[in-house]
A = this chain, B = another copy of it.
Amino acid sequence: MANTDPQDGRRPRVVIIGAGFGGLQAARSLAQTPVDILLIDRNNYHGFWPLLYQVATAALEPQQIAAPVRAMLRRMPNVHFLMAMVEGIDRERREVITDRGTFPYDDLIVSAGSATNFFGLKRVQERSFELKDVGDALGVRNSLICHFEQAVAEHDPKKLERLLTFVVVGGGPTGVEMAGAIAELVRFVLRRDYPSIDMQMVRIILIEGADRLLLAFPAPLARKAQRKLEQFGVEVRLNTSVVDYSDAALQLKDGTTLATETIVWAAGIQGSPVGGMLDTELQRGNRVVVTPQLQLPDDPNVWVIGDLAYLTGADGKPYPQLATVAMQQGRLVSHNIRQKLQGKPLRSFRYLDKGVMATVGRRSAVARIWGINWSGPIAWYLWLAVHLMYLIGFRNRLLVLVNWAYNYFTYDRAARALVAAANLPSGNEPGAQGRAEAETLVERDWGA
């Protein structure tokens, strides 16, 4: 602990914005360095977002993918945590402005991640669920289950169609996993919970603008994933996109409409608004342009990593917005800050590609790892092993395994209690037709 900042005798201060994969990795890698670290996040937990779709489909509990940051930092006395919203960054004064106060830095690591991109479709945004946080996932879950609850007493075929049509927009890994997980929930769990609902009426639709799913995967894997999804009951609509939501229906580019109340938007992300506070060059999707050493081109004290950073690889394409990229950049940024403090040369980022993978459903996944295409049960077991390995915190890992084993062997989900929903969502209009509805239920559901 002898190394101190030469200017005024105190240790250098490093502020990290964002406790995601990149920021947390940077904090951990810097914990042995003689600097004081302040990690700021708007939440008090680190979210394991690759499993968020499982919270949305009642396979996991929110807390199983959320680890309290303070607990993770306990053995790192030079890392401090603050739950706060970042409101501005003053690069001239070297200060981060938050709703909980203003904090000076010597080095700033911005790993604020990404936000959903609706490409300006306001009405679609108002009616859609995003998949960026635990609250979003719980919203999807409650919507799925509430709509089945409402359908039990619904007699109007048009309303019933709308209640039981679930649309996922975006055919990347998130959209594919989400659509597959909804299909699994319906096939194995809800079918048994709602014997009075005709499961032929349930539609799960996945919309993708390109001519195939999973553009980041090799074409043969994408075709396999599509075939599996269709086997599981998902309608895959390629070559079309969403242009509006009106008259209680999604309006598609190909002129067709989809009457639905449940839209999950997985069609695009953009850099977090924190990027805009840096007053520097942004690339497509609001990503912040950085040097290969991960600094701002005109400010060697500000580092940007993860989804928010824009940096192109040897192939001229920007690095993908993946957890593995963010973690590798988190390690590099901590190395480079140490080098800078000692006046040594910095290293450039080189991505060690660990591959890509996506689950499609029960014992079915696709993966591209070590240059090899994997699919079917083997890919699924690979997926399982990788995700259990990366899940942070031993206890969460154990509980997730218990949950998954339970789901797997019983085809059940204990997590479908609507604990956060105080009321049914709108669209449920009792009153005049109350009696008619009741008769429908009695006829159909009362065994009369």
Contacts and interface: CB of A to CB of B under 8 A. Distances in A.
Interface of A: 10-11, 13, 36, 38, 43-45, 61-63, 66-68, 70-71, 74, 77-78, 80, 82-84, 97-104, 134-135, 138, 145, 149-150, 152-153, 192-194, 196, 393, 395-396, 398-399, 402-403, 406, 410, 412, 414-420, 422, 424, 428, 430, 434-438, 441-442, 445-448
A430 B63 contact: no
15 contacts: A11-B448, A44-B417, A61-B63, A66-B417, A68-B193, A68-B414, A68-B417, A80-B447, A82-B441, A83-B424, A97-B434, A100-B428, A100-B430, A102-B438, A135-B419
B419 A62 contact: yes
Contact of A448 (B36, B70, B99, B438): B36
A438 B103 contact: yes
Given A43-B418, A98-B430, A101-B430, 6 more contacts: A66-B419, A67-B414, A83-B418, A100-B153, A101-B153, A402-B402
A396 B192 CA distance: 20
A438 B416 CA distance: 42
Contact of A428 (B43, B99, B152, B194): B99
Nearest to A446: B36
Contacts of A420: 62, 134-135, 138, 420
B101 A441 contact: yes
B435 A101 contact: yes
B43 A80 contact: no
Contacts of A83: 149, 418, 424
Contacts of A424: 83, 99
B103 A419 contact: no
Contacts of A422: 135
A194 B70 contact: yes
Contacts of A410: 395
